[in-house]
Structure formats: structure tokens, C-alpha cells
Structure 1
């Protein structure tokens, strides 16, 4: 099971996006299953990206096997895109994401489980916008999804 948790916290309001993608893998023995579970848990521990800032009280946590490696190896380096560019794209992506959450008959509810509360008037800073933007790019490329009509670019 692959899990993604994105949590933005503003004042006393917590906003959660929990994306759980289940992968069912047949196995022949309980030993094989135990080994696969251990590997999956280890991947999740190794692929956790966490950013926090106590001043504006937010936290973003992304747990997705492969994302950390992808971020370090394939994503554009920090500073390549401006914060304003990423904020604009993140608004489009969040709006489309939330629309898909509200349309479980049209879109896979295992991919789009909970809404994201991303406010345009809040300055989340460069780091949060960078990681959120790159997660949306990673998500689109990994799960063959297109959010907001943009072709994901890296």
C-alpha cells in the first residue's frame, strides 16, 4: 500500500490530504507477504518529505515511495521556478484536485480522497510551494493523470 499525506496547518485549522493507493499483490506464502510488507514500510520511512514552519503554523508531509528519489534526481533544482509561478500552478492543480475529490464517480477515489485547502492569500514560502508543485508533477507522471490541462514539465 502506497500512502501520501499532505497536511497544511494554519492557526488551529488542520487540512489533510490523505491519498492512499492500494496495490494488491498476490503472494504464495506468509513469509513472502511479510517480506513485502517490511520492504514497503522501509520504503515509506525512507521516502518521507516533511517541511514545517512554526511562524505560520503549517506542515506538509508527503509519504510516497519513489518521490524523494524523484525529487532529488529528476525535478528541477530549487530556484529554477519562481515562487509566483509555482503558487499559480499549485492553485490550478489544487482546484482540479478538489474537483476530482468531489467527483468520485468520474475519478478514481483511491487517488483523490480528500480536498486540499490551499489559500492564495497565504504565503506558504518557497519550500512548501516547491515540494507541493513537484509532488503534483510526480503524481501526474507516476499515475498518468493530467491536472488542470497542463502537461507536467520537469
Structure 2
């Protein structure tokens, strides 16, 4: 554990990416949340139950706050913040329920499992 703490490496955490998808003869965009932490993917599958779902606007509102704070920290990293830079999330873009849900849960994972606070008064959906 001391070797990990002494090492100052950046972690690539999450990326919102566009995928061009051809559907029949129409072109459309599809967005995806790419995480680079297998533990999150496992945790997310365990947490992802319809009984816990909120509205898309609920997730969008929280994601705006989390992305803003996350990107601000990436612009001014500290020794307590070693995630790679910004999340490309545009507040006016409609990413749909699934992407907003997964991105929100990634922030919950960082705060509640990794114990790295992002938003001071954020929601708490996960009790360890």
C-alpha cells in the first residue's frame, strides 16, 4: 500500500463518447459512458435495479453539478485528486436515461466506495 501512495500516477476514470451508428438508412448518434475501472462495472451491476431508479432530469441535474466540480478539480489537480482530465458532458445535450444513470452512479461509486468526495452535499444512494 505504501508503494501505491508514493506513486503519483493519474487514473483515467470515465469518458463520455459519441459513437456514430447507422440505423437502417438513417444516421444517428449514440453516446456511451466508458469507465476504466472493472470494480465499478461489477458494483454498478449490483446497484442497477429499477427499484432505485429516479427520473432522467434528476440524474441530469446531479450530473451537471458533478461534472462541473470534477472538471474544475482536473484543471487544478492536488495530491488527493489524481484522475485524468475532463469529462466531456454538455449540459444542453440529451444523453438519454441510461447514460445519465450510469454517469451518476459512477460519481456515487467514487464518493461512496472510493471515499473521494466530489460534491459537498451530494446525494447518498449507497450504504456500504
Shared fold per TM-score greater than 0.5: yes
- Residue 95 of structure 1 aligns to a residue whose secondary structure is helix
Q: Quote how far apart the aligned CAs of 1:74 are.
A: 3.0
Structure 2 stretches of 5 or more lacking a match?
Answer: 1-8, 22-27
User: Paired residues, what number?
Assistant: 110
Mapping for residues 52-131 of structure 1, pairs under 5 Å: 54=21, 55-77=28-50, 80-105=53-78, 107-108=80-81, 110-111=82-83, 113-131=84-102
Aligned to 2:125: 153
Q: How big is each residue's C-alpha offset from its partner over 1:76-95, in whole Å with a ceiling of 9 and x where there is no partner?
A: 53771100000000000000
The normalised TM-score by structure 1 is 0.60
Shift of 1:7: 3.2
Q: 2:112 aligns with which of 141, 145, 148?
A: 141
For the aligned residue pairs, the C-alpha RMSD in angstroms reads: 2.5
Residues 152 and 145 of structure 1: is their aligned pair in 2 closer, same or farther, counting only changes over 3 Å? farther
Query: Taking structure 1 as reference, are residues 137 and 129 closer, same or farther at Cα in structure 2, changes over 3 Å only?
Result: same
Match of 2:103 in 1: 132
